[in-house]
Amino acid sequence: MVDARQVAYLQALGVDVYVPRNAPPLHAVVVVDAPPAALAPAIKAAALPAVAANLDWDELRAAVAACQRCDLHATRTQTVFGVGNPQARWMFIGEAPGAEEDKQGEPFVGRAGQLLTSMIRALGLRREDVFIANVLKCRPPDNRDPKPSEAVSCRGFLERQVALVNPTLIIAVGRIAAQNLLATETPIAKLRGKVHSFGAQAWPLVVTYHPAYLLRSPGEKRKSWQDLLHARQLFGRLEQESASRGRA
């Protein structure tokens, strides 16, 4: 159940409970956890800043490339904007660029990127069919975890990307991406297998493991496949509901 305090947090973040209309109980449907108290005001203030709120794709890309909202601009080789179909029905969001991404300017390259591409193919899609982005647009030094202030600085850019793509379903790739997107400290094991929502439009979001983690722990690939099956089933249901509303 959701108490009044959680509802207040969710409204402040522009996050709603996502419950598909007439949906069969195939999976548990949950609300996003309330954000840590220290982060909630910052996220509210930074969500969709004026610098990003109304930009088109070209303007947004230029704004990201010129961004100096946090200290990461001083150590980056280049920003990593995102790649894929700007009208994709699927959107994958990771945590931050690594060394290869910083060099090439594209998210999820190298071995982890190859595995993500394989995961996308397992869904019956090509990499160019989806849109891939990160919570951060610049690489943290030594591939350290993003700082909360850095994620807040980038959040407006990411929310604008999501709004422009307007995906049917978002997949948060990895613990850090999921916790930043959902403003929670809940472990990934408790976030998987459920339907969350992101942003003012309550885009449906599910969580899976990061491919870099799967490379280190190949025994967990079975769980990741379960996540993909869950996502594919949910996606089909959402598309059917959307088509039904269009015919109504």
- Residue 227 amino acid letter: D
The per-residue pLDDT string of the chain (248 residues; one tens digit each, 9 = 90 and over) reads 344 433 333 333 333 444 444 444 433 333 334 344 444 444 443 444 455 788 999 999 999 999 999 999 999 999 999 999 999 999 999 999 999 999 999 999 989 999 999 999 999 999 999 999 999 999 999 999 999 999 999 999 999 999 999 999 999 999 999 999 999 999 999 999 999 999 989 999 999 999 999 999 999 999 999 999 999 999 999 999 988 887 65
| C-alpha to C-alpha distance for 216 and 169, rounded to whole angstroms | 27
| C-alpha to C-alpha distance for 166 and 7, rounded to whole angstroms | 24
The pLDDT of residue 246 is 76
| C-alpha to C-alpha distance for 47 and 158, rounded to whole angstroms | 9
Topology at the third CATH level for domain 25-247: Uracil-DNA Glycosylase, subunit E (3.40.470)
Map out the domains of the chain as residue ranges: 25-247
Q: Which residues of 186-201 are buried (b: 16+ CB within 10 A; e: fewer)?
A: bebeebbbebbbbbee
Count Cβ atoms below 10 Å from residue 126 Cβ, excluding itself: 12
User: Considering the chain, what is the average pLDDT of its residues?
Assistant: 84
pTM of the shown model: 0.80
